[in-house]
Structure formats: C-alpha cells, structure tokens
Structure 1
C-alpha cells in the first residue's frame, strides 16, 4: 500500500516487510479502536488458525481433502515451506502427515496472537502505548495506526451489506469473521441484521460471486475451515 495524502512516510522496516497475510488482516479487523481490545479473545486462536489455513489454500500451499464420512484433513502442496514465519508452523505441522482440521487449529492457533500483533505493530497498523496506572502499574494499550483497518473494513462491509462481489481474500476474511460469531460487535461500522448474517453464512459456504476467481478447491477449503471455526467457537465453554 502506498502512502496517501496525510499519511506518514513508510519506514525502511515497513517497506521491507512482505505484503500482509490474511491472518494479519483478520486480527486487524477484530481490533476494536474504541476500547483498544480484540473482539472474541476467548476463541481467537481458532479464528487465527483458520486464517492461516485459508491463506495456505489461497496461495496454493495446502488443501483440505475428505478423510472419512465426517472428517477432513489438511494436505500440504509443494515441498518448500512458506517464507512467512506466521504460516510456516501450520504448513510444517501438516507436512509431517495429513492432519484433521480441528487438530491443526488447536495446535497452531494458540501461538499466533502475539507474533501477529507484533507484525501489525511493526508495520505501523497498530501502536502499543505503555502507560502507568496510579503511577505504579504498567499497562499496555493498543491504538489504531496506519488506517489500513478502515480500508479492510470498507471492503468487508461492501461485501456483507452492499453484497458486492468480493476478491477471494476479502471473501475469506469476511467468512472467517462470520464464522467467529463476532460480526454483531462491528455494528454500526458493519450494520448488523438478518441481511448481514445471511450474507456472512453464504460466504462461509463458498458462495463468493462470479468475480471472486478462486478455484473451486480453494472455495471448498475455506468453507471447511470456516465451518470448523464456527463449530469450535460455538462449542467452546464460555464462548
């Protein structure tokens, strides 16, 4: 993304980073600027793990195949691990042998929050502010940085509310937000109602529209991942 009017010039460190991954986009979208918190913290690792698997599918590095009547397994494609350190653990875990989707989510998801946050701070998309409470206790507050969250949010809202045909990447992000159960928390940024709910479910099931030129296997993979995330976030105790 190039600098726009009023934006701060990108640092050399920011320029050296590769393009943001889907898991970065999803966590950035889940960030709530008003409170400085991340929506859905108690089930976040499932959503972030799902975003990593969806990214591997979108980039042709993995796919999910049926391994039985009611189960599916992650199969890696190609023999070279992804360069992105956020994606490499999931790819490596599934490369040992095909793994059940839920197993992969539970194995890689819990380790993702902090490195993804670090990446977003490194890019300038989020800021970390160190503060002292009562002059003694140190606390850390997250604040919005670059404005990229708003760009992502605009694209997701256009798909969910305006029913625009999405790019595969935006479709996957919106599907994961829907599967996380967190869409109501975006109201009024993304107006919540039956229309938004239904469109989210369509995206979860791979109904992306004609212009989202993703292979059928990619849509199927993202749909299975979304279903696994949805099941996990609705059955986890306390969710």
Structure 2
C-alpha cells in the first residue's frame, strides 16, 4: 500500500473541496467526469472573484463578463492560471470555463493526494497487471459531504463555502450519484436549486459577493453543459 505524502500546505481551494465531494470511495471513481472540468473551472472562477482577483458582471446576452483586477494576481498557481487567462482581456464566463477547465482535473486531484485526502494505491489486476486505484484518505471528505447533506436535507443554515460546494455539485448534475450519502428526494432537489440561484437564506446576506459569484458561475456551468448536450437531469 502506498504511503501518504506530506500534506499540501495552505487551505484547500474550493475546486479541491468540490472534487473531493464528487469522489466516490466505493468505486474509486469521480462522479460526473463528463462535466467535471466545467464545474472545477466554475469553482476557480468563484474563488477568484470572492478573493477580489477578478470582477464578474451580471449575466447578459453574451454571458457574464470576467475581468482581471490588474496588479492583483493570486499567489496560488492554479488560481493564477485562471487570472492570467483574463488578464490580457476580459472574457465571458463560458469562455473562461472552456479554456481553464480542461487543465484542472489532474492538478486538483494531485493536491488532494498530497494532502492525504485521497490515496493512490498500486494493485495487481487479475494477479498480473499493475493498476492504480483511488481510495479515501481520511475523514475530510466525510465531513464535507455531511456538511452538504445537512444544508440540503436538514435545511441547516449554509456556511458560505459549504453552500458554494453544494451549488456547484448540484450544477454538475451528479447529486443523484451521491444518493447513498445525500438522499435524492424532492426537498433536497429544491434546496440544491435554490443554492444554485443564490438563495442562501437571510443569514447569508453578509456573504453577498460569494453568493452572487457562485450563482453566476453556476449559471455559466449550466449554460456550458446545455451547449455541450450534457445538461444535468431536471427535477
């Protein structure tokens, strides 16, 4: 069994939390692989805007406009890639997702492995062929999923980061695959859609930037999935 490497320093990115929730330990797979790069890019966009590195306009005819805040590049290299893309000129949110997303899965997964949240283990298939499987590395995924479940099923007041994770996971169309941990029922569907649209409840008023930016990013993800004929299931 492979040993865990040293944990990655610093707080996990929102994209890391989204990917970790989508990871399915029972099968060693990631839910929603077909939509994953759009969702991870949406998480990067949300984080860039929340931290003030970019501004995101309201959705319009051509989609929301993403513009870099000059001389305020993020230190994190994954966020920096997204910032660099809009630093030369403003882009639509959909263009941002399509350009930035395809490069994210590998580095984000590597970070989760570095942190010990996911393990890569070497195994032999049929006793002959070496293969690498992904397994759960510890308790952080369980804590994240429980936080999302409490918000969606129990109606718990959402902490902004948990609400953003829930909204992005919902936008991916992958919540039904998590039914063993987050029951797929009408109340959960309704709450998830409300979070997607920025309805986080009165207590979230102080988190207006995160709420609004997440809603814009989710809208961009949904638009991209529809355009790619990968629309999530309708309730």
TM-score for both structures, normalised by structure 2: 0.90
Q: CA deviation at 1:57?
A: 2.1
Task: Provide structure 1 residue ranges, at least 5 long, that are not aligned to the other structure.
Answer: 1-9
> Which of 80-89 and 189-198 deviates more?
80-89
Q: 1:74 aligns with which of 34, 58, 66?
A: 66
Distance in 2 (alpha carbons) for counterparts of 1:213 and 1:57:
17
Secondary structure, counterpart of 1:227 in structure 2:
helix
Tell me what 1:194 maps to.
186
- Is 1:158 the counterpart of 2:154? The answer is no
Tell me what 2:138 maps to.
146
Question: Which is bigger in relative contact order (C-alpha 8 A, separation at least 6)?
Answer: 2
Label 1:78 to 1:155 Cα distance change in 2 as closer, same or farther (>3 A). farther
Contact preservation (8 Å) 1:76, 1:91: yes
- Is 1:27 the counterpart of 2:4? The answer is no
Task: Provide structure 2 residue ranges, at least 5 long, that are not aligned to the other structure.
Answer: none
Distance in 2 (alpha carbons) for counterparts of 1:31 and 1:68:
33
Secondary structure, counterpart of 1:87 in structure 2:
helix
Q: CA deviation at 1:130?
A: 1.5
Secondary structure, counterpart of 1:212 in structure 2:
helix
Q: CA deviation at 1:94?
A: 1.1
Distance in 1 (alpha carbons) for counterparts of 2:72 and 2:50:
16
Cα RMSD after superposing both structures: 2.0
Correspondence 1:49-88 to 2 at 5 A: 49-66=41-58, 68-88=60-80
Secondary structure, counterpart of 1:164 in structure 2:
coil
- Is 1:220 the counterpart of 2:219? The answer is no
- Is 1:37 the counterpart of 2:37? The answer is no
Q: CA deviation at 1:120?
A: 0.3
Q: CA deviation at 1:138?
A: 2.5
Label 1:167 to 1:238 Cα distance change in 2 as closer, same or farther (>3 A). closer
Distance in 1 (alpha carbons) for counterparts of 2:65 and 2:165:
21
